[in-house]
Amino acid sequence: MRSAARARGLYWLCHYAALALFVAFALFPLFWLLKVSITPNDLLYSEGVRLWPSHATIAHYVSVIQHTQFPLYFRNSVIVSATTALLSTLIAAAAGYGFSRFRFRGKLWILGVMLVTQMFPLVMIVAPIFRLLAPLGLTNSLSGLVLVYTAFNVPFASFLMQSFFDGIPKELEEAAMIDGATRFQALRWIILPLTLPGLAATAGFVFTGAWSELLFALMLNSSSQVSTFPVGLLSFVSKFSVDFGQMMAAGVLALIPVCAFFLLIQRHLVQGLTAGAVKG
Amino acid sequence: MAAISIRALRKSYGDVPVLRGIDLEIRDGEFVVLVGPSGCGKSTLLRLIAGLEEITSGEIRIGERVINQLPAKDRDLAMVFQSYALYPHMTVRENMSFSLKLRRMPAAQIDAAVAGASAKLGLQSLMERRPRALSGGQKQRVAMGRALVRDPKAFLFDEPLSNLDARLREQMRYEIRRLQRDLGTTSIYVTHDQIEAMTMADRIVAMNDGLAQQIGAPAELYDNPSNLFVAGFIGSPAINFLDAVLLEGPGGALVMVGSERLGTVPWPQGLPADRRVTVGLRPERIVMGPASAGAPAQIDLLEPMGLGTVIHLNLAGQILKLFTTDRLQEHCRGIVGLCVQSADILLFDPRSGLRLRAA
Amino acid sequence: MHGGATAEPALARRLSWRALTRATEPYLYTLPALLLIATVMMMPLVIGLSYAFRDITLLDPLSGGFVGLDHFRELYADASFWNALRNTVTWTATSVALQFALGLMLAQLLNRAFPGRALIQILVFLPWAVPSFLSGLNWAWLFNPVVGPLPYWFQAAGLTHGTDNLLSDPQHALWGPIIANVWWGIPFFAITLLAALQSIPRDIYEAAVMDGAGPWTRFRRITLPFLAPTMAITILLRTVWIANFADLIVVMTKGGPADSTQILASYIFTQAFQRLDFGYASAVAAVLVLLLLAYAGALLLLRRLLTARF
């Protein structure tokens, strides 16, 4: 009896120790980012390896917000990411619903095409897209980015939405249609309220993806007026490659929206992926 | 309130036929039960009537109107699903009001209709609850309330009692039947349980393999089955099937099981050339007496069931069961004599399964 | 009911209109997505592939002509290309293997309920929310002896002699982006594996325990076989995606030092945007796509063969 209890105690010890390692690994880089961002410049080199500066300061944040164009970049990113998330979720919800509820000719082909879009380096299509958008006046604009980002995100978002819809029994729409609803009314009143967690999760996923996108933001928009923050941060890095304090402060600022969003939706995301998995 | 007419209805999924030609005329106010084993097509038939699936060929009419192309929402039918399909995010009241709201009925009228339906089903105390806070039986009632509120042309039931335990099922059988009788609404009820079919139906449609094997009142299917399937499916305990041969005898044909004589029947029409038949004997129609009084059979096993006893017997190498309500001696063993009335010996063609009737 | 002979023609017209809308319903729902993908992704993809056969040098007004297989010949003789191909294999294989192994470990740890699980789950999945290139920059800074602690810790642990930046060592520079990739990618695998683990019925484990199976046996005989089919497609997609993932490398090392961290995807990037030779870049990209398609095809075939055996 006692050895069994001891074995169990040992098991949980290892369990928590392993988890502690994972948590430390996950959080350490972010912690370091924070740490350097509040280290005053004069202590930066002398106290390089300390885990916490002897003297903390918010001077870097103030400098970033007031003396650089970061607020503009930030604003642009918010506009682009939020709009992309909204559009992608709507379009993907419609497509995901279509895949979930209907059997129709060409379904396999369409799914195949969507799979292919995940398989090639996006670098390949930068130039063609540039040539496509330039005559339409969509280069050097936020709308052009939104268009491109929405197209990139719709395949995976549709797949996510399809799993969420698969988790809702078809009988509910059938009951609604027998009650006198058109399919669209059934979708609006019965099904959509039930997929709100799924919609939130998909929106969060797309938001995060759009927020992080570097390549096309770099290539399609050259004016700093319409640069998103990844571009801004990169130019910052090349221009001020030794001003680590400010760079890291900018990085921390950039993390805030996505982490906040993530915290809100992470439960639903796990739930949604689990639901899809159970269905097979 | 309407009569429903189904003519030459077929349904295939791709190349796979599920319904192979159904003809059925349902009278206004009738309670018709579609019964059969899994895969026989009964649920498909119900769903075609509801408008949830497309017809491959044939015709469905409600009243005089052909409704083949009519979408489900316009057919004015109400359905109770096996899984109840209650809207999880709505209260009981909202569940029941949904269809009326879609029709833009004035709120006062909706409230009155919902109040009436909930009173009939005893749901008054549950109106503000959500489905997850309801028991199986309560969910059942709400599903029925949702159908009731609409005053539809017909009710469709898709195995509504399958998810309930035995006691609850008995009670709900009674309630559904009583409700339907009070309302007089045409009802089509699908089940795989032949007891439900026998106790609830005005008429039964026994289905197998995409066809209606026999349509008739419960007693008709019980006393006068038209083929092996119906005879074997209806009735509990299940009918006995024995291999037998008909021989010439005084007054008719002698039914011979092995070398034992079971009884005498009038010569049937359509007898196969080798005179081999399948005999159907209902367990409760066999009388047991002393060994000399009938066909001798060896008692194998006794199964007391409370109501009566099922006795497993061996007659000339074939197993059969007998059901009696007589109280028997515990140590009843040995050889007994079996007697069956001529009318209770049902004859079937072994190859086609069809019933052989007297000329 | 109503609907006598006089109403028939109007009724018939209305009903056939209904049949039409019913048939096109699924396409209506999926159309916006398809239109978007077709115009913004598929069309440019075809055009982009065509560049592989043309001379497209930006800023050169005389370019644009058809050159047939010239780029592919150039590619075959290009040592940098083969180097990048080798690195791509190392990069992809190592990243996927580590992400999968550590993700599986994490998923197993999270598969049982314990106090604090919700909080730990959030903390451990957080790296996923971090923009990928920021993760790259972050780790670049960690490896930088000027502001980062890692060079000193490596030296203290005896792994290195000096406190040089790992990213400037041609022998080991690729590990920098790999570690950043693993840090960023573990949550994704952990979440999907956790979902898959939770779908395995408990009864099977209980039956195995009754039969006397220890934890390693249970893992090998129950967990892995159950996970395998679910994971096949995910691993396939992730592998392809990682092979195409150039952001981290471009941000951390730009492919250097001395091309030691150059993978095909980043090579395409430098060819396109530094040499401005879109034609050649597209040729390399075409080869990459072909290789990935072949890999995908081989994997699916393997999966079919394996599942057919059972």
Beta carbons within 8 Å of B30's beta carbon, 6+ residues apart? B186, B187, B202, B203
Residues A25 and A107 both lie in one domain: no
A64 falls within a domain: no
Q: Which residues does chain B have within 8 Å of residue C18's beta carbon, measured at their own beta carbons?
A: 69, 71
For chain B, the helix, strand and coil percentages under 3-state DSSP, each to the nearest 5: 30, 35, 35
Is the confidence at residue C94, as pLDDT, over 60?
yes
Write out pLDDT tens, residues B100-144.
988 888 999 999 999 999 998 889 999 999 998 998 889 989 999
Record: contact C45-A113, CB cut-off 8 A:
no
Residues A199 and A261 in one domain: yes
What was the pLDDT predicted at A270? 63
pLDDT value of position C79: 86
Residue pair B35/B225 in contact (Cβ under 8 Å)? The answer is no
Higher pLDDT, B7 or A262: B7
Per cent of chain A over pLDDT 90 is 12
The top-level CATH class assigned to B4-229 is alpha beta
How many beta carbons lie within 10 A of that of residue C80, not counting itself? 15
Where are the domains positioned within chain B? 4-229, 240-356
Residue B320's pLDDT is 92
Q: How does residue C310 score in pLDDT terms, banded at 50, 70 and 90?
A: low
Distance from C-alpha of B144 to C-alpha of B164, rounded to nearest angstrom: 15
In this complex, the residue of B71, B72, B83 whose CB is nearest that of residue A171 is B83
Q: Are A77 and A47 contained in the same domain?
A: no
Question: DSSP string of B139-174?
Answer: HHHHHHHHHHTT--SEEEEESTTTTS-HHHHHHHHH
Please enumerate in sequence order all residues whose Cβ is within 8 A of that of B156, keeping only pairs 6 or more positions apart, or say none.
Answer: B46, B49, B50, B77, B78, B79, B80, B187, B188, B190
Q: What total number of domains does chain C contain?
A: 2
Mean pLDDT, residues A261-267: 75
CA–CA–CA angle B200, B202, B204 (5° rounding): 85
Handedness of CA A153, A159, A163, A168 (dihedral sign): positive
| Domain match, C303 and C223 both | yes
Domain presence at residue A22? yes
Q: Which of A57, A79, A104 is the last residue of a domain?
A: A57
Instruction: Answer yes or no: is C144 within a domain.
Output: yes
Would residue C56 count as lying in a domain? no
pLDDT at C2 over 50: no
Domain shared by A181 and A216, yes or no: yes
Rounded (10°) CA dihedral B72, B75, B76, B78 = -50
Chains touching chain B through at least 3 C-beta pairs below 8 angstroms are A, C
C274 versus B134: the higher-pLDDT residue is B134
What is the percent of chain C with per-residue pLDDT over 70, rounded to a whole number? 90
Q: How far apart are CA B208 and CA B229, in angstroms?
A: 8
Residue C155 has pLDDT above 50, yes or no: yes
Query: Any idea which of A115-124, B110-119, B315-324, C277-286 has the lowest mean pLDDT?
Result: A115-124
Contact A113, A154 (CB under 8 A): no
Q: Is position C246 within any domain?
A: yes
User: What is the nearest CA distance from A48 to chain C, expressed in angstroms?
Assistant: 5
Q: Which carries the bigger pLDDT value, residue A189 or residue A127?
A: A189
Q: Who wins on pLDDT, A223 or A149?
A: A149
Give the pLDDT band (50/70/90) at residue C61: low
C227 contacts C196 by C-beta, under 8 angstroms: yes
How many domains in chain A?
2
CA distances from A40 to A59, A68, A69, A76 (A): 7, 18, 21, 29
Is the domain of C121 the same as that of C47? no
pLDDT of B34 reads 96
**C12 pLDDT more than 70:** no
Q: Do A119 and C292 make contact, defined as CB atoms within 8 angstroms? A: yes
CB contacts, 8 Å: A129 with chain C: 40, 44
Give the span between the Cα atoms of A223 and A229, in whole angstroms: 13
Both C283 and C153 in one domain: the answer is: yes
Containing structural domain, residue C240: 81-309
Whether C69 is in a domain gets the answer no
pLDDT of residue C140: 86
Q: Could you tell me if C28 and C96 lie in one domain?
A: no
> Is residue A89, in this structure, part of any structural domain at all?
yes
pLDDT band at A256 (very low <50, low <70, confident <90, very high): confident
Q: The domain containing residue A125 runs over which residues?
A: 69-279
Give yes or no: residues C190 and C265 share one domain. yes
Task: Find residue B280's DSSP bridge partners.
Answer: B241, B346
- In angstroms, the Cα distances linking B38 to B41, B79, C96 are 8, 20, 47
Do C46 and C91 fall within a single domain? no
Strand order in the sheet with B16-26: B16-26, B4-13, B57-62, B65-66
Q: Does the pLDDT of residue A274 top 70, yes or no? A: no
In this prediction, residues C49-66 reach a mean pLDDT of 73
Answer yes or no: do C123 and C221 share one domain.
Answer: yes
Residues of B with CB below 8 A from C3's CB?
Answer: 64-65
Considering only C16-20, C174-178, C202-206, which range has the smallest mean pLDDT?
C16-20
Asked if pLDDT for residue C139 goes beyond 60, the answer is: yes
For chain B, list residues with pLDDT below 70: 1, 329-332
48-87 in chain A: CB under 8 A from chain C: 48-49
Q: Is A1 exposed, middle or buried (0-12, 13-18, 19+ CB in 10 A)?
A: exposed
**How far is B260 from B318, CA to CA, in rounded Å?**
11
Q: Are residues C42 and C147 in the same domain?
A: no
* Choices 3.40.50.450, 1.20.200.10, 1.10.357.10, 2.40.50.140: CATH for B240-356: 2.40.50.140
Report CB contact under 8 Å: C19, B69.
Answer: yes
Q: What digits encode the pLDDT tens for the residues A200-248?
A: 888 888 988 898 888 888 888 778 788 888 888 877 777 666 677 788 8
The shortest C-alpha distance from B114 to chain A (Å) reads 14
State whether A208 and A232 are in the same domain: yes
The 10s digit of each residue's pLDDT in B88-102 is: 888 999 999 998 988
CATH number at residue C121: 1.10.3720.10
pLDDT band at C9 (very low <50, low <70, confident <90, very high): low
What integer is the mean pLDDT of C4-13? 55
Of C39, C41, C48, the C-alpha closest to C284 is C48
Q: Is residue A42 part of a domain?
A: yes
**Subunit contact C15:B64, Cβ cutoff 8 A:** no
